[in-house]
Chains A and B, each alone.
Chain A
């Protein structure tokens, strides 16, 4: 069966992994970060920056790759206060978008998570499984976006091709 979707693998984003008590993280980086997301597994946006609240005391900041250097200068991953952790992880994840009228059908093959809008809000973002791999999933205009570890990228290209063949 073939599906009415466009699937795209994207280039690198700037990614920072942030851990620590929220008060401490915002004390250090509040000037740079979008607002603190209120609900677990939700995201906030500030300009081109996305902030994903993906675990207890755990966030991921995403930005266009061109901003990596500036963000690193602002967040100072190496020199940050010792009770929090900020790590530059841009090259660890590879992002895919699945967009189109049947995007939800493809995602239903790939993931056990209920991605119906009633369960999975517009601003939701979470780690779950895609083809059995740990993956970060969210909505994007007209479909879904997800990321897996770089080294699984080719495997996922193959899985997606077979799913939609």
Chain B
């Protein structure tokens, strides 16, 4: 169980949140990139053995979306969202 720091509410139980997926690359202009780059944007996310940046939604709380860096080996939250 994670204790996730919410910028509005402070540290809260993971069960109050809904996982929003890893943070991928920013959406490029489809007309400005090659097909291969577009496919990469659509399908590839970082899969590190270590800290990964991910989105969480405080759905059973204040409703805030936030991002944290979490270590995939330990579940340690190594960096919280701004303001938390």
Please encode chain B, from 2 to 20, with 1 for each CB lying within 8 Å of some chain A CB and 0 for all others.
Answer: 0000001100110110000
Which chain B residues lie closer than 8 Å to A127 at the CB level? 60-63
Interchain Cβ contacts under 8 Å between A and B, 29 examples: A40-B8, A41-B8, A41-B62, A54-B62, A55-B62, A55-B63, A56-B8, A56-B62, A56-B63, A58-B62, A58-B63, A112-B13, A112-B15, A112-B16, A113-B12, A113-B13, A126-B9, A126-B62, A127-B60, A128-B12, A128-B16, A129-B13, A129-B15, A129-B60, A132-B15, A133-B60, A134-B59, A134-B60, A135-B60
Tally the A-B contacts, defined by beta carbons under 8 Å: 43
Which residues of chain A have a CB within 8 Å of any CB of chain B? 40-41, 54-56, 58, 112-113, 126-129, 132-135
Q: Tell me the nearest residue of chain A to B13, going by C-beta.
A: A112
Interface residue tally on B, bucketed by range:
10 to 19
Which chain B residues lie closer than 8 Å to A129 at the CB level? 13, 15-16, 60
Q: Tell me the nearest residue of chain B to A40, going by C-beta.
A: B8
Q: How far is the CA of A55 from the CA of B9 in the complex (A)?
A: 8
Which residues of chain B have a CB within 8 Å of any CB of chain A? 8-9, 12-13, 15-16, 59-64
Q: Tell me the nearest residue of chain B to A56, going by C-beta.
A: B8
Minimum distance in angstroms from B26 CB to a CB of chain A = 24
Which chain A residues lie closer than 8 Å to B64 at the CB level? 55-56
Minimum distance in angstroms from A92 CB to a CB of chain B = 15
Given contacts A40-B9, A55-B64, A56-B62, 16 further A-B contacts (CB under 8 A): A41-B62, A56-B64, A112-B15, A113-B12, A126-B9, A126-B62, A127-B60, A127-B61, A127-B63, A128-B60, A128-B61, A129-B15, A132-B15, A133-B60, A134-B59, A134-B60
